[in-house]
Amino acid sequence: MDLKSGYKLENDEQLVMEIEANMHETSSNPLAILWDAIMGIFELILGFSNKGYLVMTNKRVVMITKYKAFFVIEKGSTLSNILPHSVSNVGYSKMGTCCCGLFCKKYQFFFTAAHEYEFTLYSSTDEEAKAIVDAFYNALTAKA
C-alpha cells in the first residue's frame, strides 16, 4: 500500500488512518506567537512549508514532516514515533471562521507531547473528528 507520506508499513502492521496537513507548533508564550505570525508571512511569500503526516497503525503512531522551500525544493524530512508516555493531551477543536462563527467550521486535531501539534482537518464533522481522536488514542495505546 502506498501512503502519501511515503511511510512503509511493516509486514504485520495495518494502516488505521493517515492524516495530511500543514504542520503548526503552538506555544502559550505571547512573544513566540507574535514571532511565529511574522515568520509565517515571510514563509508564505517565499514558499516555505512544513507538510505533516500522522500515520496511525495497529502498532504505533508515526509523525512525518517534510520541509519545502520556494514551493518545490525539498529541504528535508523528519520521522518520529510518538511514544505513549510522551503524550499528555489529545483532542480536537472546532471554530467558526466567518460570519462570527455561523458558517465554515474549522476542525483541528491536536496532541501535546514536547510541543502542541495541530492538524487542520478539512471537511470534517464532530463524529469524524472524534473518530480521529479515538484512532490516535487506540494506536498510541496498542501493544506491539
Q: 102 in a domain, yes or no?
A: yes
| Alpha carbon distance 140, 134 (integer Å) | 10
Look up cell 481522536; give the residue.
133
Q: 8 in a domain, yes or no?
A: no
Domain boundaries, position 134: 15-140
- At 54-75, the pLDDT tens digits run 999 998 999 999 988 998 898 9
pLDDT at 107 (0 to 100): 85
User: DSSP class of residue 59?
Assistant: S
Domains: count for the chain: 1
Q: 2 in a domain, yes or no?
A: no
| Alpha carbon distance 65, 23 (integer Å) | 8
- At 85-143, the pLDDT tens digits run 899 999 998 887 666 556 667 888 888 887 888 888 876 788 999 999 999 999 988 86
- At 11-28, the pLDDT tens digits run 889 999 999 887 766 667
The pTM of the whole model exceeds 0.85: no
pLDDT at 133 (0 to 100): 92
How far out from the chain centre does Cα 12 lie?
Answer: 25
Q: 42 in a domain, yes or no?
A: yes
> Which CATH number is 131's domain given?
2.30.29
